[in-house]
Structure 1
């Protein structure tokens, strides 16, 4: 299939393994006269290197392990790095191919990069520092602006989750369970636990302070990739639910969004398949709670941007009057 990058990579990668067989085939078959030249084999190697990140992304998205969306940002960023590097390639064919792909990629990246980045920030191994590295490698001049945009949207999203009083609901559930606890268990629970009272106090502080959860999470050091390369991010948030009651719910909702529901045969297809913001398909249910909240945040962000633009125009007009 000439329109599918993934199948093209698989075909060429397989052919490279048998390069010496092809080069010797004429010794056994006199009719074999179309063996690629050394220059053509060199081009095959370069094209394989160019298509490799696309193939890896397709395998990650559609693999049986069902990766969480925190890895999507790095994969898309890796693809962008390859495209940027290939724009200056000495091979004109690869250069033209990269230019065509980059024009399409920029449309996608400009519209969805913030949403992809939110999943990466909620990976305790990455957070904002990894985003800073990725953004600066591509364009250091726009790095800070992009970071602030991601951070602003993350705080707006967290505010929406906090306003639903999820932590208060969990607290009431705990109190209800405690009221139904048998007397013997109550006495036993009170007889030990040196830090129990302090744990309750910390939970109350976290519940009252709202953004405090997100601030604490972002300020903590990143987990070391070398030690946590195969970490289950959803399990980490589940284990830290007591520390970040509201933030953990947000993280699990965001990270659980499937990267795609498109079959692997259609990945990177050049056809007219249309992607959706949060599930990469137009058949995503509009009444889903997470999507409703994300749509609210998008609306608030647009309103805030419009307000800031109006304020800037007013200030400019005042300056002209002076």
Structure 2
């Protein structure tokens, strides 16, 4: 059994068959990031193989980042060409000293330019920041919600990736149970009848909680009763044997 389990485990965790979204989820965990993934892959697969896997992961993350950057641009990028041309004209007038009121527009344009530069290096800034401390009360979704302004694009990726269920076993099991209860001969059952059937099936299959201490007491009690019966039977046989012997002598 253990050998069969190992074969399935190796097949699932083979480097070419791993779902890399699992790695993306760890990458987006501020307690681990890319350093933890690199550490684990080096120990599991060696330096050469882990390097190829890390390159593949980085390509996937860069593609996700570029895709989400288009989907969720910063608000100043959606003002349109008219606003940009107006800002350019304001910048020109402000540089020539024609209107002091346009200095505010020039200042805001410089800020926006810096924000555009920062957005291009958002991945690098995230990796350069220190790791968060592990804590039982740490809520990763709350952490990313608070970092929306700092990591405009990454926070959107984290919101979508980290909300994906790790497994679909529960939903598949529910559909399988429904198929076993509602077959072609039971398709017209009332809802409360179906509910009763499913609940009864669940109660029957539910594991029984075994109290080892009470069970051992019960076993010792049975053993003592059995030993008493054996002793009584031996005494009765001995008495009967004595009676038979006395009768024979007479």
TM-score (norm 2): 0.50
* Structure number with higher relative contact order (C-alpha < 8 Å, ≥ 6 residues apart): 1
